[in-house]
A = this chain, B = another copy of it.
Amino acid sequence: MGGSEASRIRKRLRFLLVNAFSLSERAAYRPRPRSGPKEEQLYNYAEVAPVLEDVDWELHPGAPATHGDWPVELREEFAITGVNRLPIVREACASGRYDAVVLLGGGDPGFWEAREIGHRHGVPVTACAHAQMHIAGMLGARFSVIDISEVHNMRMADLVRLYGMTERCASIRNLDHPLPRPAAAGRNTLLGEQEKAARGEASSMLEAAVAESVAAIEEDGAEVLILGCSAAYWLQGPLQRRLAALGWDVPVLEGYRCAIEMAKTLVNLRLDVSGLAFPHDPPKRFRRRKRV
């Protein structure tokens, strides 16, 4: 609501979607193509398409990975990946070409810093875990995060704390289907699980998601379910249907659509973030005291 000119002309929103990182051509596993049509570089495009219908969007494939040539799970890797993404955000915000920047990727690498950058330019930046948590709050008292692995869980736990969501987070549930990365050698990963489920075959990952979701509902008090890792966002539809078939009337969210819709809300309301939470440097005015 930053401004009061009532007569602005309605136009299509322009968003930049930025992937978390991009692996090399030589990577043993590449979750998404690095080139080709933008739609193919997005996970689960068919599901996401409806919320992009009224948006003019571009996709950035993400900065080349420097933590290793595999997907990200450790805190260390998230930190490195996050910093790598900041120049993309800086450039996008400074360009004046976008109404909003949507950071893809489940663990929100670089998001907190990107909001600081965005605010300098008045450009809202949204991210997948953060948006899911806020939209979950609109629907029920507590959410659980259905997530892929032990170390990724702890990244999600850090985000819950950083975002001030400890009261709203019922639990983080571990499917123990990590990303295909060296540390997971010899273990059951999430590789191929989406395809199995799509073919109607049994997917151990989907079964684990059902079991952990039911436990989150029955034991932890979850009233909404969100997904931790973008490589698990395909679960949204199948998990929602399986839970419904069991009689559970519970929403399952995923990050892309939530981050895109939250970006629309912020743009439409002419907001990005509070300048008290993400101050300019120097600020025009400062608070002597902050509560945390």
Q: Show the binding face of A for B, using Cβ within 8 Å.
A: 1-2, 4, 6, 8, 10, 46-47, 49-51, 53-54, 73-76, 79-80, 82-83, 86, 110, 112-113, 116-117, 134-135, 137-142, 149-151, 153-154, 157-158, 160-162, 164-174, 176, 178, 183-184, 187, 212, 215-224, 236-237, 240-241, 246-254, 257-258, 261-262, 264-266, 268-269, 271, 273-292
State in angstroms the CA–CA spacing of A247 and B286 once bound together: 9
Are A287 and B138 touching (Cβ within 8 A)? no
Q: Which 4 A-B pairs have the closest CB atoms?
A: A249-B275, A247-B285, A140-B274, A221-B291
Copies in the complex: 6
| Structural contact, A6 and B50, CB atoms closer than 8 A | yes
Smallest Cβ distance from A291 to chain B, in angstroms?
A: 4
A154 near B278: Cβ-Cβ < 8 Å: yes
Name 20 A/B residue pairs within 8 A (Cβ), A-sorted: A4-B47, A4-B236, A6-B50, A10-B50, A51-B269, A74-B281, A75-B278, A79-B86, A134-B137, A141-B164, A151-B279, A154-B277, A161-B164, A161-B292, A171-B289, A176-B286, A184-B282, A247-B285, A248-B275, A264-B264
